[in-house]
Amino acid sequence: MPLPAPGPDRTALVTGASQGIGAEIARVLSLQGHHVTLVARSTEKLKALADDLDNADVIALDLADRAGRASLLDQIAKRGRVVDILVNNAGLSTLGPVSKSDPSAELNMIEIDVAAVSDLCSRFLPGMVERRRGAVLNVALTASFQPLPGQAGYGAAKAFVLSYTQSLAGELRGTGVTATTLCPGPVHTGFGERAGFSEEDAEAALPAVMWVTAEDVAKKAVEGMAKGRLVVIPGRINRAAAALSQVTPRSLLLPILAKNHPGLP
Protein backbone atom coordinates (compact mmCIF):
# COMPACT_ATOMS: atom_id res chain seq x y z
CA MET A 1 0.00 0.00 0.00
CA PRO A 2 1.60 3.32 -1.04
CA LEU A 3 1.93 6.24 1.34
CA PRO A 4 -0.97 8.71 1.34
CA ALA A 5 -0.51 11.25 -1.42
CA PRO A 6 0.68 14.74 -0.50
CA GLY A 7 -2.05 17.37 -0.32
CA PRO A 8 -2.50 21.03 0.65
CA ASP A 9 -4.29 20.06 3.87
CA ARG A 10 -2.06 17.11 4.77
CA THR A 11 1.16 16.75 6.72
CA ALA A 12 3.65 14.20 7.98
CA LEU A 13 4.37 14.64 11.68
CA VAL A 14 7.95 13.73 12.58
CA THR A 15 9.07 13.80 16.22
CA GLY A 16 12.70 14.03 17.22
CA ALA A 17 13.21 15.84 13.92
CA SER A 18 16.00 18.19 14.97
CA GLN A 19 18.82 15.82 13.99
CA GLY A 20 19.81 12.28 13.11
CA ILE A 21 17.28 9.79 11.79
CA GLY A 22 14.30 12.06 12.40
CA ALA A 23 15.77 14.92 10.39
CA GLU A 24 16.67 12.59 7.53
CA ILE A 25 13.20 11.00 7.44
CA ALA A 26 11.69 14.48 7.29
CA ARG A 27 14.06 15.31 4.44
CA VAL A 28 13.10 12.19 2.46
CA LEU A 29 9.38 12.84 2.92
CA SER A 30 9.78 16.48 1.91
CA LEU A 31 11.66 15.49 -1.25
CA GLN A 32 8.71 13.25 -2.11
CA GLY A 33 6.39 16.25 -1.94
CA HIS A 34 4.96 15.82 1.55
CA HIS A 35 4.45 18.74 3.87
CA VAL A 36 6.22 17.94 7.14
CA THR A 37 5.59 19.11 10.69
CA LEU A 38 8.84 19.00 12.64
CA VAL A 39 8.66 18.42 16.40
CA ALA A 40 11.54 18.50 18.90
CA ARG A 41 12.79 20.63 21.77
CA SER A 42 15.39 22.62 19.84
CA THR A 43 13.72 25.54 18.05
CA GLU A 44 16.92 26.65 16.32
CA LYS A 45 17.72 23.23 14.87
CA LEU A 46 14.14 22.74 13.71
CA LYS A 47 14.09 26.12 12.01
CA ALA A 48 17.41 25.42 10.31
CA LEU A 49 16.03 22.14 8.94
CA ALA A 50 12.74 23.76 7.91
CA ASP A 51 14.69 26.39 5.96
CA ASP A 52 16.28 23.57 3.94
CA LEU A 53 12.95 21.92 3.12
CA ASP A 54 10.35 23.01 0.63
CA ASN A 55 7.32 22.80 2.89
CA ALA A 56 7.67 22.47 6.65
CA ASP A 57 6.20 23.73 9.90
CA VAL A 58 8.02 23.82 13.23
CA ILE A 59 6.57 23.01 16.64
CA ALA A 60 9.09 23.22 19.49
CA LEU A 61 7.93 20.83 22.20
CA ASP A 62 9.31 18.58 24.92
CA LEU A 63 7.49 15.30 24.37
CA ALA A 64 7.84 14.48 28.06
CA ASP A 65 5.26 17.24 28.63
CA ARG A 66 1.88 15.50 28.58
CA ALA A 67 -0.09 18.74 28.17
CA GLY A 68 2.15 19.72 25.28
CA ARG A 69 1.62 16.39 23.57
CA ALA A 70 -2.12 16.73 24.04
CA SER A 71 -2.05 20.08 22.25
CA LEU A 72 -0.35 18.80 19.10
CA LEU A 73 -3.46 17.71 17.23
CA ASP A 74 -5.14 21.10 17.77
CA GLN A 75 -1.97 23.01 16.91
CA ILE A 76 -1.76 21.22 13.58
CA ALA A 77 -5.50 21.55 12.92
CA LYS A 78 -5.27 25.32 13.46
CA ARG A 79 -2.73 25.39 10.65
CA GLY A 80 -5.33 23.80 8.38
CA ARG A 81 -3.78 20.35 8.20
CA VAL A 82 -4.42 16.76 9.18
CA VAL A 83 -1.72 14.18 9.94
CA ASP A 84 -1.63 11.40 7.34
CA ILE A 85 1.85 10.17 8.29
CA LEU A 86 3.00 9.88 11.90
CA VAL A 87 6.68 9.21 12.63
CA ASN A 88 7.39 8.58 16.32
CA ASN A 89 11.16 8.95 16.26
CA ALA A 90 11.91 10.96 19.41
CA GLY A 91 13.80 8.99 22.02
CA LEU A 92 16.53 9.06 24.60
CA SER A 93 18.48 6.60 26.71
CA THR A 94 20.02 6.37 30.14
CA LEU A 95 23.26 4.49 30.68
CA GLY A 96 24.61 2.14 33.30
CA PRO A 97 23.28 -0.47 35.71
CA VAL A 98 19.80 0.00 37.16
CA SER A 99 21.29 -0.32 40.64
CA LYS A 100 23.03 3.03 40.08
CA SER A 101 20.26 4.75 38.12
CA ASP A 102 18.50 8.04 38.75
CA PRO A 103 14.76 7.29 39.12
CA SER A 104 13.71 10.64 37.64
CA ALA A 105 15.90 10.11 34.57
CA GLU A 106 14.54 6.59 34.11
CA LEU A 107 10.94 7.80 34.28
CA ASN A 108 11.65 10.69 31.90
CA MET A 109 13.07 8.21 29.39
CA ILE A 110 9.97 6.01 29.69
CA GLU A 111 7.74 9.07 29.26
CA ILE A 112 9.37 9.92 25.93
CA ASP A 113 10.21 6.45 24.60
CA VAL A 114 6.99 4.69 25.64
CA ALA A 115 4.23 7.02 26.80
CA ALA A 116 4.66 9.57 23.99
CA VAL A 117 4.49 6.86 21.33
CA SER A 118 1.26 5.44 22.72
CA ASP A 119 -0.18 8.91 23.35
CA LEU A 120 0.39 10.22 19.83
CA CYS A 121 -0.86 7.02 18.21
CA SER A 122 -4.03 7.25 20.30
CA ARG A 123 -4.56 10.85 19.25
CA PHE A 124 -3.81 10.65 15.52
CA LEU A 125 -4.94 7.16 14.51
CA PRO A 126 -8.69 7.84 14.89
CA GLY A 127 -8.54 10.49 12.16
CA MET A 128 -6.48 8.27 9.89
CA VAL A 129 -8.89 5.37 10.27
CA GLU A 130 -11.88 7.64 9.68
CA ARG A 131 -10.29 8.99 6.47
CA ARG A 132 -9.18 5.45 5.53
CA ARG A 133 -5.64 6.55 4.77
CA GLY A 134 -2.49 6.89 6.80
CA ALA A 135 0.83 5.44 7.85
CA VAL A 136 2.54 5.16 11.22
CA LEU A 137 6.27 4.61 11.67
CA ASN A 138 7.46 3.93 15.22
CA VAL A 139 11.22 3.84 15.71
CA ALA A 140 12.72 1.08 17.84
CA LEU A 141 16.12 -0.60 17.30
CA THR A 142 17.63 -4.01 16.68
CA ALA A 143 18.07 -4.43 20.45
CA SER A 144 14.27 -4.58 20.64
CA PHE A 145 14.71 -8.30 19.92
CA GLN A 146 16.97 -8.94 22.93
CA PRO A 147 17.81 -7.75 26.46
CA LEU A 148 20.17 -4.77 26.75
CA PRO A 149 22.15 -4.84 30.01
CA GLY A 150 23.71 -1.42 30.54
CA GLN A 151 20.64 0.23 29.00
CA ALA A 152 17.94 -1.96 30.49
CA GLY A 153 15.16 0.62 30.47
CA TYR A 154 15.95 1.78 26.96
CA GLY A 155 16.02 -1.75 25.56
CA ALA A 156 12.74 -2.59 27.28
CA ALA A 157 11.14 0.62 26.02
CA LYS A 158 12.07 -0.22 22.45
CA ALA A 159 10.81 -3.79 22.90
CA PHE A 160 7.50 -2.18 23.87
CA VAL A 161 7.56 -0.10 20.69
CA LEU A 162 8.12 -3.20 18.57
CA SER A 163 5.34 -5.22 20.20
CA TYR A 164 2.94 -2.28 20.31
CA THR A 165 3.42 -1.44 16.64
CA GLN A 166 2.99 -5.03 15.53
CA SER A 167 -0.28 -5.14 17.48
CA LEU A 168 -1.36 -1.91 15.79
CA ALA A 169 -0.66 -3.46 12.40
CA GLY A 170 -2.98 -6.34 13.27
CA GLU A 171 -5.73 -3.99 14.40
CA LEU A 172 -5.42 -1.78 11.31
CA ARG A 173 -5.81 -4.48 8.67
CA GLY A 174 -8.43 -3.38 6.14
CA THR A 175 -8.58 0.23 7.37
CA GLY A 176 -6.28 1.78 4.76
CA VAL A 177 -3.77 2.63 7.52
CA THR A 178 -0.44 0.85 8.03
CA ALA A 179 1.92 0.53 11.00
CA THR A 180 5.65 -0.12 10.60
CA THR A 181 8.47 -0.50 13.12
CA LEU A 182 11.90 0.80 12.16
CA CYS A 183 14.65 -1.18 13.92
CA PRO A 184 18.03 0.27 12.97
CA GLY A 185 21.33 -1.06 14.22
CA PRO A 186 24.11 1.33 15.25
CA VAL A 187 23.89 4.68 13.46
CA HIS A 188 26.27 7.64 13.53
CA THR A 189 23.94 10.31 14.92
CA GLY A 190 25.56 11.46 18.16
CA PHE A 191 22.93 9.54 20.13
CA GLY A 192 25.56 7.62 22.08
CA GLU A 193 27.29 10.76 23.28
CA ARG A 194 23.96 12.16 24.50
CA ALA A 195 23.31 8.87 26.32
CA GLY A 196 26.66 9.08 28.05
CA PHE A 197 29.22 7.01 26.14
CA SER A 198 31.65 8.01 23.42
CA GLU A 199 31.35 7.04 19.78
CA GLU A 200 34.75 5.38 20.11
CA ASP A 201 33.41 3.11 22.86
CA ALA A 202 30.37 2.25 20.75
CA GLU A 203 32.47 1.49 17.70
CA ALA A 204 34.73 -0.74 19.78
CA ALA A 205 31.73 -2.70 21.08
CA LEU A 206 30.01 -3.14 17.71
CA PRO A 207 31.59 -4.37 14.45
CA ALA A 208 32.08 -1.80 11.71
CA VAL A 209 29.90 -3.82 9.30
CA MET A 210 26.87 -3.16 11.51
CA TRP A 211 27.05 0.63 11.28
CA VAL A 212 24.76 2.45 8.85
CA THR A 213 24.21 6.11 8.04
CA ALA A 214 21.16 8.10 9.10
CA GLU A 215 20.51 8.88 5.44
CA ASP A 216 20.36 5.20 4.49
CA VAL A 217 18.16 4.40 7.48
CA ALA A 218 15.72 7.16 6.50
CA LYS A 219 15.47 5.96 2.91
CA LYS A 220 14.81 2.38 4.02
CA ALA A 221 12.28 3.59 6.58
CA VAL A 222 10.18 5.57 4.10
CA GLU A 223 10.47 2.80 1.51
CA GLY A 224 9.29 0.29 4.12
CA MET A 225 6.33 2.48 5.07
CA ALA A 226 5.36 2.81 1.43
CA LYS A 227 5.38 -0.97 1.07
CA GLY A 228 3.42 -1.48 4.28
CA ARG A 229 6.16 -3.57 5.85
CA LEU A 230 5.73 -4.72 9.42
CA VAL A 231 9.40 -4.31 10.42
CA VAL A 232 12.28 -2.54 8.67
CA ILE A 233 15.85 -3.43 9.67
CA PRO A 234 18.40 -1.59 7.51
CA GLY A 235 21.50 -3.63 6.70
CA ARG A 236 21.86 -7.34 5.97
CA ILE A 237 24.19 -7.92 8.93
CA ASN A 238 21.77 -6.22 11.30
CA ARG A 239 18.88 -8.34 10.03
CA ALA A 240 20.94 -11.47 10.61
CA ALA A 241 22.00 -10.33 14.08
CA ALA A 242 18.39 -9.56 15.05
CA ALA A 243 17.27 -12.99 13.92
CA LEU A 244 20.14 -14.71 15.74
CA SER A 245 19.48 -12.84 18.98
CA GLN A 246 15.92 -14.14 19.09
CA VAL A 247 16.94 -17.80 19.05
CA THR A 248 20.11 -17.62 21.19
CA PRO A 249 19.51 -18.85 24.76
CA ARG A 250 19.53 -15.93 27.19
CA SER A 251 21.93 -17.79 29.46
CA LEU A 252 24.49 -17.56 26.66
CA LEU A 253 23.56 -14.14 25.29
CA LEU A 254 23.41 -12.08 28.49
CA PRO A 255 27.05 -12.53 29.59
CA ILE A 256 28.25 -11.54 26.12
CA LEU A 257 26.05 -8.45 26.00
CA ALA A 258 26.99 -7.34 29.50
CA LYS A 259 30.71 -7.85 28.90
CA ASN A 260 30.76 -5.76 25.72
CA HIS A 261 28.49 -2.90 26.79
CA PRO A 262 30.37 0.39 27.33
CA GLY A 263 27.93 1.38 30.09
CA LEU A 264 28.96 -1.48 32.38
CA PRO A 265 32.25 -1.90 34.24
Catalytic residue numbers read 154
Distance separating alpha carbons of residues 18 and 43, to the nearest angstrom: 8
Report the phi/psi class of residue 56: left, alpha or beta, with left for phi > 0 and alpha for psi in -120 to 50: beta
52-56 contact pairs (CB < 8 A, 24+): 52/27, 53/26, 53/27, 54/30, 55/30, 56/26, 56/30
